[in-house]
Amino acid sequence: MKKRLFLLAAGAALSVGGFFLGKTHTAVVHAETKTSIMKSYGKCIGVYTRGEYVILVFEDGSGTVRLVNASDGSLVGEDTRN
Protein backbone atom coordinates (compact mmCIF):
# COMPACT_ATOMS: atom_id res chain seq x y z
CA MET A 1 0.00 0.00 0.00
CA LYS A 2 2.80 2.43 0.91
CA LYS A 3 4.63 1.56 -2.30
CA ARG A 4 1.51 2.25 -4.36
CA LEU A 5 0.98 5.65 -2.67
CA PHE A 6 4.64 6.52 -3.19
CA LEU A 7 4.43 5.65 -6.90
CA LEU A 8 1.22 7.65 -7.26
CA ALA A 9 2.75 10.71 -5.56
CA ALA A 10 5.98 10.42 -7.57
CA GLY A 11 4.01 10.13 -10.82
CA ALA A 12 1.92 13.17 -9.96
CA ALA A 13 5.03 15.19 -9.06
CA LEU A 14 6.75 14.22 -12.33
CA SER A 15 3.64 15.09 -14.32
CA VAL A 16 3.29 18.52 -12.74
CA GLY A 17 7.02 19.19 -13.07
CA GLY A 18 7.03 18.08 -16.69
CA PHE A 19 4.09 20.33 -17.45
CA PHE A 20 5.87 23.43 -16.17
CA LEU A 21 9.27 22.53 -17.63
CA GLY A 22 7.73 21.72 -20.99
CA LYS A 23 6.14 25.13 -21.42
CA THR A 24 8.03 27.28 -23.91
CA HIS A 25 7.49 30.76 -25.20
CA THR A 26 7.14 31.31 -28.92
CA ALA A 27 9.18 34.13 -30.39
CA VAL A 28 7.15 36.75 -32.23
CA VAL A 29 8.73 37.69 -35.54
CA HIS A 30 7.70 40.77 -37.51
CA ALA A 31 8.52 41.39 -41.15
CA GLU A 32 11.14 44.05 -41.63
CA THR A 33 10.09 45.18 -45.11
CA LYS A 34 7.16 44.78 -47.43
CA THR A 35 7.76 43.13 -50.77
CA SER A 36 5.50 43.08 -53.77
CA ILE A 37 5.33 40.19 -56.19
CA MET A 38 3.65 40.57 -59.55
CA LYS A 39 0.27 38.88 -59.81
CA SER A 40 1.17 37.61 -63.29
CA TYR A 41 3.65 35.19 -61.66
CA GLY A 42 0.64 33.01 -60.78
CA LYS A 43 0.02 31.05 -57.63
CA CYS A 44 2.63 30.11 -55.06
CA ILE A 45 3.26 26.37 -55.30
CA GLY A 46 6.15 26.03 -52.86
CA VAL A 47 8.81 27.52 -50.66
CA TYR A 48 12.51 26.73 -50.72
CA THR A 49 14.68 27.69 -47.77
CA ARG A 50 18.41 27.51 -47.44
CA GLY A 51 19.95 29.12 -44.41
CA GLU A 52 18.76 32.70 -44.25
CA TYR A 53 17.41 32.75 -47.81
CA VAL A 54 13.74 32.08 -48.54
CA ILE A 55 12.75 31.47 -52.16
CA LEU A 56 9.08 31.38 -53.19
CA VAL A 57 8.13 29.18 -56.16
CA PHE A 58 5.34 30.48 -58.43
CA GLU A 59 3.64 28.91 -61.45
CA ASP A 60 1.43 30.79 -63.90
CA GLY A 61 -1.28 29.44 -66.21
CA SER A 62 1.10 28.76 -69.11
CA GLY A 63 3.39 26.56 -67.00
CA THR A 64 6.18 29.06 -66.38
CA VAL A 65 7.83 28.48 -63.00
CA ARG A 66 9.48 31.46 -61.32
CA LEU A 67 11.73 31.56 -58.27
CA VAL A 68 11.36 34.79 -56.30
CA ASN A 69 13.49 36.01 -53.40
CA ALA A 70 11.06 36.52 -50.52
CA SER A 71 13.09 39.27 -48.85
CA ASP A 72 13.08 41.76 -51.74
CA GLY A 73 10.77 40.29 -54.42
CA SER A 74 13.55 39.94 -56.99
CA LEU A 75 13.36 37.25 -59.65
CA VAL A 76 15.98 34.55 -59.01
CA GLY A 77 15.14 32.16 -61.83
CA GLU A 78 12.56 31.33 -64.46
CA ASP A 79 11.80 28.20 -66.50
CA THR A 80 8.95 27.01 -68.72
CA ARG A 81 7.62 23.48 -68.35
CA ASN A 82 7.22 21.43 -71.51
CB-based contact 69:53 (threshold 8 Å): yes
Of all residues in the chain, what percent are helix, strand and coil, respectively (each to 5)? Answer: 30, 35, 40
Tens place of pLDDT per residue across the chain (82 aa): 778 888 888 888 877 777 777 666 666 666 666 778 888 899 999 998 888 888 999 999 999 999 998 888 889 999 987 6
pTM to 2 decimals? 0.56
Q: How far apart are the C-alpha atoms of 30 and 78, rounded to whole Å?
A: 29
